[in-house]
Amino acid sequence: MALLNVLCYPDPRLHKVAKPVAQVDARIKKIVADMADTMYEAPGVGLAATQVDIHERIVVIDISEEQNELRVFINPEIIWVSSEKKSWREGCLSVPEFYDEVERPAQVRVKALDLDGKEFEIETDGLLAVCLQHELDHLQGKVFVEYLSILKRTRISHKLKKRTKELLDER
């Protein structure tokens, strides 16, 4: 088991755009395993590679109660969204202890590769749809606070910077 360091907003590396995975090989499988360990340890319902400073299109998600239904999405793409929208209270491991409402399409259809490098598609709603959109945003360098007002975002940014500084000063 290997835990990876999760970048904290407003780290500029969270805004890098991830590159597609060329081949699902042993290196990618190791990254997926370490990302899953990191997500379960946090605990979170999803994690994008961008958050652990790996700028490749890799996402892990587990929305199950028992945290025993790992879903892996390599090179994910949203291929359809519903016109119906839904608002959800979102959080992010890169924005610890802040939660706010974000409105997004209620249903999405996503195409991706699995761990065997095989293409699959899913159409979903609810938390999985929210989580997929949240994680795909990360791969584009976008953090959910960018949907909030500038005022809220500035406050979050200041508080997290202050907290990071305090943590460093304690050492």
138 is a site residue for ligand GNR (CB under 6 A): yes
Site string for ligand GNR, 77-106 (x = CB under 6 A): -----------x-xxxxx------------
130 binds, among Ni ion, ligand GNR, none (CB under 5 to 8 A by kind): ligand GNR
Residue of the chain from 92, 130, 132, 145 that contacts Ni ion (CB under 5 A) = 92
Q: Tell me how far apart the alpha carbons of residues 144 and 32 are, in angstroms, rounded to a whole number.
A: 22
Q: Tell me how far apart the alpha carbons of residues 147 and 25 are, in angstroms, rounded to a whole number.
A: 35
36 binds, among ligand GNR, Ni ion, none (CB under 5 to 8 A by kind): none
47 binds, among ligand GNR, Ni ion, none (CB under 5 to 8 A by kind): ligand GNR
> CA 104 → CA 29, 34, 107, 134, 148, distances in Å?
30, 29, 9, 9, 13
| Residue closer to Ni ion, measured from CB, 89 or 171 | 89
Q: What angle do CA 4, 56, 117 make, to 5 degrees?
A: 105
Q: Are residues 114 and 72 in contact, defined by beta-carbon separation less than 8 angstroms? A: yes
Maximal C-alpha separation, the chain: 50
The Cβ of residue 119 has, within 10 Å, a number of other Cβ atoms equal to 10
Residue of the chain from 32, 48, 72, 132 that contacts ligand GNR (CB under 6 A) = 48
The residues in 4-43 that bind ligand GNR, with binding defined as CB under 6 A, are none
44 is a site residue for ligand GNR (CB under 6 A): yes
Return residues touching ligand GNR (CB under 6 A): 44-48, 51, 88, 90-94, 130-131, 134-135, 138
